[in-house]
């Protein structure tokens, strides 16, 4: 194992030591959220880095951490130091490049673009320190997701009764909603629902929501 990989694992691993958990543990969480929202292993991952991320991603192991997350590795996984190699062996084409300057972005911001066949996905995330993250965009929708609570991410058609149907299912399973956000591209168009709950929704609840006619898919993100 190279010294840089060992250094990366020391930061990301269970003891979380090192000069910048923002560049490693937070990056790994952002990558894993993107993977969970995409729902499968991508064929192509284009990663745009901003601010401090763009300047130091190799030296601080941010690249290794982001790709480990895209491989769905938890932050304590001992395969993390080899994530770039594993991604290559798995046939995932990963590219890193600096994003265009944006004075409104946090220094530790990353935009992840994933694709497989005709499926495409895009997410903007920020590592805000201490391993904590915020997700600010999902497929063009402005959101604010921290991952501190279990969260359902539900793309759906903007139709009457969809929100009520989803919340009724959660109520039936005795799930308390701690945060909810709904946005849409336009009346009757695509919409996105984010619902954070106090407890992790059971698979049965997720499956019931997925069966709703207007729902395209349901991603269940565990609390980090």
CB atoms within 10 A of CB 46: 16
pTM of the model: 0.87
Domains of the chain: 8-145 (3.30.1330.90), 151-221 (3.30.70.260)
Placement of tokens 């954070």 in the chain: 196
Mean pLDDT of the chain: 89
pLDDT given at position 130: 82
Quickly state the pLDDT bin for 59 (edges 50, 70, 90): confident
d(CA 187, CA 49): 33
d(CA 112, CA 35): 10
| Contact of 63 with 7, CB cutoff 8 Å | no
- Does residue 30 carry a pLDDT above 80? yes
Digit-coded pLDDT (tens) for 160-182: 999 999 999 999 999 999 999 99
Burial of 44 (0-12, 13-18, 19+ CB in 10 A): middle
pLDDT given at position 57: 86
Digit-coded pLDDT (tens) for 112-160: 999 999 999 999 999 998 888 999 999 999 999 998 899 999 999 999 9
């Amino acid at each position: 194992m190279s010294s840089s990989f060992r250094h990366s694992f020391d930061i990301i691993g269970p003891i979380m030591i090192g000069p910048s958990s923002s560049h490693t543990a937070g990056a790994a969480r952002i990558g894993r959220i993107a993977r969970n929202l995409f729902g499968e292993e991508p064929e192509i991952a284009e990663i745009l880095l901003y601010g401090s991320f763009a300047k130091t991603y190799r030296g601080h192991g941010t690249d290794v951490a982001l790709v480990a997350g895209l491989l769905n590795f938890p932050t304590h996984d001992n395969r993390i130091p080899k994530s770039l190699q594993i991604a290559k062996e798995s046939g995932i084409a990963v590219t890193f490049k600096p994003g265009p300057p944006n004075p409104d972005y946090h220094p530790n911001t990353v935009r992840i673009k994933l694709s497989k066949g005709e499926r495409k996905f895009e997410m903007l995330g920020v590592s805000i320190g201490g391993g904590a993250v915020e997700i600010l965009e999902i497929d063009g929708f402005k959101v604010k997701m921290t991952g501190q609570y279990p969260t359902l991410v539900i793309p759906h058609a903007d139709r009457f009764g969809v929100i009520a149907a989803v919340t009724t299912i959660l109520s039936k399973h005795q799930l308390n909603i701690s945060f909810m956000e709904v946005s849409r591209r336009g009346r009757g168009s695509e919409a996105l629902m984010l619902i954070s709950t106090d407890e992790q929704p059971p698979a049965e609840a997720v499956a019931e929501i997925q069966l709703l006619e207007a729902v395209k898919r349901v991603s269940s993100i565990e609390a980090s």
